[in-house]
Structure 1
């Protein structure tokens, strides 16, 4: 599914319902077979009973029809209610998840969140439970009353038979016969109702699955061109707003990046730097304007070849609970290199000390999720593993989205030196609100409010004495109070 759906509560609700109800695809087949068998049993018992008394057979059948109608009504009502409760179920699932997730364990203990989370869970559960109890209470009262009707009719029939037996019109054998036939008929009717309602419930769930299928990707892989490096980039009057919003994140962007050029996108948080990366990778398509790669609209390339030319260290980087080797090589699974080359990649990312403390070398697991000897890494160490993954990938353009966010100054300096040496022949794009990476850039693009307000080399922008110069001096003063420069 497109990236936009991950930010949609409506989509998440229906996805949760689908994950809960998908079993209906299997159970409906079994219920249909049971329904057919129930009908065969019902028809045979009805025929036998009607031979003795067609009137009694019709009366028993008619008295059970209100039960069918009531069951259908409440089956639908309960399922519609369950769909309405999906947001509450998701909230309870989320509280259960964070309660057992290590990422949140420090906050839970430091802020003593146990009682807050428990009370929050109990409050949601209480509303959920009381709502369901109210619906089930109404169903129980109605269905119990309606289920008694066929029983009353059965009692009436048996009383009539007893009177006929006492008057000599029927024999004891007739009573035994009718008792058996009544049991078969009412049992067959209830079995048909039960299996029929199961099928109806499955149908409601399958309807939800079909509604889920109405979600369609907007990022269509319909391009027939293969992108081959080296890659040049052009943003031509690009504006963008996220789906189902009215606020433009980017407005009328125009800039080019020549093959092999190093560009630094600078701006405060929310300026649109990360959005530019998402558009380049076609996680989203532009609202207005065009993005051209090697002079061709980005939408004319097939997605696999397009994304293959990019390697990205995302701002929200992740590590996998796999081996150290897999954490590096997962970015390019078709590429085959030796262990020594993987070690070299880790060195280039400044992660030598991680490997030195890995008990099983490259086979060591990252995190203790699957191994007692797994590596527990700091934020900076996790970022170095993510950087190694980005460096491992064969590509033409490498993108670093806030690459030094979790690194100490020494590691940051080493990383930038390695990148400058290793990627001298590659196109590189850096995004940052810290200006420590500007010395790597051939050109700096300064963004504010989704617009380009300044661009040029570091020297040109400093001479311009504009917003970039002000931000640079503001950060530099924090490093050297006396001289005012870095």
Structure 2
């Protein structure tokens, strides 16, 4: 068993909550001493009441004192327990917040390629649902302290009666520890195995309640199919979980039978002691209770010791996720060379293959972009256009080849500094359910001011300001419905907002990865004209399927099956009579057909 994750977790918890730990230990020790104190008071109370009823003693003051002590112990125990529960809950919230932050930081900084793997999603789902396991080592340790103190005090008491009572009380601990350890490990690996189906059920459930999918669910009549899919996945997981639980409960019944047998043996010894010595009724009752309490403490200790192994598996899984190398860690050996103002970007013999694919998506790509150029990249779906853009902006690391900025390899440049050269509008750009202001400023939020003049300038230049001024709360209007907003934008308005977002960032290179694909040809033409007009001093790279848009570029790169097969301006490519000319002819024919109908 690897206990390194356990040590890391303990170090994290101790560093975060020394005061909580000290208070918890103090309260635990006090609470641990209460059971044996209660037993002693009960023993003396029963003996005093028995003597009083038999008229052997008329000391009523002693009985009242013992009753007051018993009542006080009960109140003290309740106060201590509730204080401990409150402080535990408070600290759990702090730990949960810190761990969630770590998970979000890690998941938002790992290389983008991780998101192409379902195993990564499974891992993220597992650790997200098990952050509560982090406090388990401390809780187990505190529980062990409490149970050991209680156990030792009970053992001392039982030993004063007869040594064999300890033997009958403790012998059951071995099988209890063994059974709990086995099933703890089985629970973890079952959870590991069931994560993919659980994630499927969760995703399917989200489709039934999501606003984004609500239209298709109703139009296509998907309710029955999705409900059935969700039910089957969840049912399969439940059946597997219940199967393991059934085996565990059967084993627990056997253990309870063994516990009952050992308790019966202890009772037989008590009866023998009553015959052979003068044990009072109070001693008899307390001895019986002590044996039960001893067995409960031992069972709890065995269960906690077994839980350490199970908890370590969860912690190891958590730290394996945190140990994924993020972009900052991958940059540790970078020379971090500086470069003057951007003048060109060169791509040399670049190839890229997705980890799960045998065939490369990009192969032997080479071209150069000079400052101020407007480059169009066109090609059929699946030709590798978007993958090329992701390699170009540093989201994917090429399998082979290099990218240079002013002849400096980007491997020698800080990734953040390199990314700061770009503004990108993706095809599936995010429509944030935040305010209009946040939707625009989010492209450069770390450098934005509360009242940033760039915001209003970008909104005016993009054309979205006309619509925003008609809204009741202007730039503070919340968009979407999810966060309580009541304003939705049309597709064209969202496109204008996306332009404003790009203009607000105001970087040297603007990349447009088919953000206008949902627009009609005239709207797309207007979209690109706005970008080009307000970015005359910028370098612009855009992907488009439409030839009329590509004509706006200084140079057009034609991609097919992961390679650049043609390069030139519109007139040159038409004269070549190749792929571009073929695509142009096909689009003209389609346009004529639409006009004729």
Matched, 1:45 2:158: no
Residue pair 2:165, 2:291 contacting (<8 A) in 1 also: no
Aligned to 1:388: 500
1:255-314 superposed Cα distances (whole Å, 9 cap, x missing partner): 111111111111111111111111111111111111111111011111121111100111
> In the aligned structure 2, how far is the partner of 1:46 from the partner of 1:482?
93
Secondary structure, aligned partner of 2:423: strand
From the superposition, tell whether residues 30 and 347 of structure 1 become closer, same or farther in structure 2 (CA, over 3 Å).
same
Partner of 1:87: 196
Q: Which runs of 5+ in 1 are unaligned?
A: none
Higher mean C-alpha deviation, range 298-307 or range 475-484: 475-484
Instruction: Calculate the aligned-residue CA RMSD, in Å.
Output: 2.3
- Please report the TM-score for the alignment, with normalisation by the length of structure 2: 0.76
Matches within 5 A, 1:242-253: 242-253=354-365
**Contact 1:236-1:289 at 8 Å conserved across structures:** yes
Q: Cα deviations across residues 149-188 of structure 1 (Å, max 9, x unaligned)?
A: 122122222134324534x545345533532431332132
Higher mean alpha-carbon deviation, 189-198 vs 138-147, is at 189-198
Contact 1:329-1:392 within 8 A present in 2 as well: yes
- Could you tell me how far apart the structure 2 residues matched to 1:170 and 1:372 are? 80
Specify whether residues 414 and 352 from structure 1 end up closer, same or farther in structure 2 by C-alpha distance, changes over 3 A only.
farther
Which residue among 374, 381, 396 is the counterpart of 1:284?
A: 396
Tell me the CA shift for residue 315 of structure 1: 1.4
The count of aligned residue pairs is 482
Cα contact 2:168–2:265 (8 A) shared by 1? no
Alignment of 1:178-197 (within 5 A): 178-197=287-306
Aligned partner (choices 331, 348, 352) of residue 221 of structure 1: 331
Q: 1:415 to 1:289 in 2, by over 3 A?
A: same
Cα shift readout 1:70-117 (whole Å, capped 9, x = no counterpart) = 111112112221221111211121122121111100011111222222
- Find out whether 1:363 has 2:457 as its counterpart: no
Q: CA deviation at 1:362?
A: 1.2
2:443 is equivalent to residue 331 of structure 1:
yes
Distance in 1 (CA, whole Å) between partners of 2:424 and 2:351 is: 22
Q: How far apart, CA to CA, are the structure 1 residues paired with 2:485 and 2:573?
A: 52
Structure 2: runs of 5 or more not aligned: 1-109
- Equivalent position to 1:354, from 460, 467, 470: 467
Q: In structure 1, what is the equivalent of residue 425 of structure 2?
A: 313
Q: How does 1:431-470 map to 2 (within 5 A)?
A: 431-470=543-582
Matched, 1:399 2:482: no
- SS at the partner of 1:359? coil
- Classify 1:481/1:67 alpha carbon distance in 2 versus 1 (closer, same or farther; 3 Å): closer
Q: Give the distance between the partners of 1:243 and 1:419, measured in 2 at CA.
A: 35
* Residue range with higher mean Cα deviation, 396-405 or 335-344: 335-344
Q: Distance in 2 between matches of 1:180 and 1:402?
A: 76
8 Å CA contact retained: 1:231, 1:396? no
Structure 2 contact 169–266 (Cα < 8 Å) conserved? no
* Partner Cα distance (1:228, 1:115) in 2: 60
Q: Note the 1:105-116 alignment, pairs <5 A.
A: 105-116=214-225
Tell me the distance in 1 between the aligned counterparts of 2:464 and 2:583. 31
Larger mean CA deviation between 252-261 and 413-422 belongs to 413-422
Distance 1:341 1:79, change over 3 A: closer
Higher helix share: 2
Residues 1:302 and 2:414 aligned together: yes
**Which residue, out of 174, 182, 185, partners 1:73?**
182
Query: Aligned-pair distance for 1:51?
Result: 3.5
Distance 1:244 1:112 in 2: 34
Residues 482 and 302 (structure 1 numbering): CA distance in 2 closer, same or farther, change over 3 Å? closer
